[in-house]
Structure 1
Amino acid sequence: TIQGHRSAWRLEAGRLKKKGYWVFGPRNRMLTGYLMSLTYAAAFYAAAGWLGVGIYMAQATWAKVVFEVVNYVEHYGLVRVPGQPVMPRHSWNTNKVVSSMVLFSLTRHSAHHEKGDLPFWNLKPYPEAPEMPYGYLTTIFAAMIPPVWKASINPKLKEWDEKHASREELEILERRNQVLGNVGSHKAAA
């Protein structure tokens, strides 16, 4: 996550420079995020002292863990040719109604990648995009139990190989499997 943080800083600095804004000014989303976090920590401190700060930090840590698990399942096993645009086939989706309502359309992950500037309520489902084995919440819990995760995702990876992957992407998978000592495509790699 440190590398992700550095990458976010680079992206934000590039965005601000492109618009002619000062990197360390009030339009910097990284700085406003830090300020929000400090404000919450201060509120927890005001409410319960250092115990409150500890509770806030525990909650923030758990939120980060869940975020990373979500990121893991959203892209697990899918490859893209470096330099090629992100297409709907490069992320897992689910069109389950409850997941979509509870998670503010997080389930429409391909739409988010394709049209990242749209508010969540305008993200549309991509029926042709790869589908998670379950709804988001069930998939997240399954990913935390490796045997359950592999049993549920492996058939989906095989389906991705057959229905979604380009020839170049299949070649990337084949090379990856050779490096890892696996034979075949996703059937053995996952």
Structure 2
Amino acid sequence: MLTIAMPKGRIFEEALQLLRAAGFPLPLEFAQSRKLILTSEEAQLTFILAKPMDVPTYVEHGVCDVGIAGKDVLLEEQKDVYEVLDLKISACHLAVAGISGQTLDVVTPKIATKYPKVAAAYYRDKGEQVEIIKLNGSIELAPLIGLADRIVDIVSTGRTLQENGLVEFEKVSEITSRMIVNRASYYMKGPKIQEMVERLKEIV
């Protein structure tokens, strides 16, 4: 039995479709379940449904053999895991956004984000000095209430930015969901994990 950590919602639903297409017999009711642990004896898979930022932690510590997480989470969390496959699902991108027409006329702009490590690295690579403000949600509020000059956040359709009067200024990174593996599991359950990787590769 392989244990897989992944976030509930869009990534979970798209990953289930991929796994079914790769020949894993998973019940259709999985996507509607409110349980946090789901097991398919037939597929020999157990799913642990976690907060997106926690998935790499579960995999790093070995409570899960495999995880599926967005590249944004992997860049931010920087956990000691193997990234083995780009599943090319839940595509979006990280971007710098702010109020339309607002220029940066301060020496040290304030950047609000739930990705402080990613944002800091981005501006460091550009040689720009900024102040990073860590937020956990509703990042779009920050420029509107004067907390920050810019935000760094996930953009999918751009609708949320538009509805809040914000525009995208710069693209930071393209994001898709990746399959990650615990280092010990990779050796102890190598053949089973490699079989899953190869079957998913064909579908991807």
For the superposition of Structure 1 and Structure 2, which TM-score range results when normalised by the shorter chain?
Answer: under 0.3
Please, what TM-score do these two structures have when normalized by structure 2?
A: 0.24
Give the structure with the larger helix fraction. Answer: 1
Give the structure with the larger strand fraction. Answer: 2
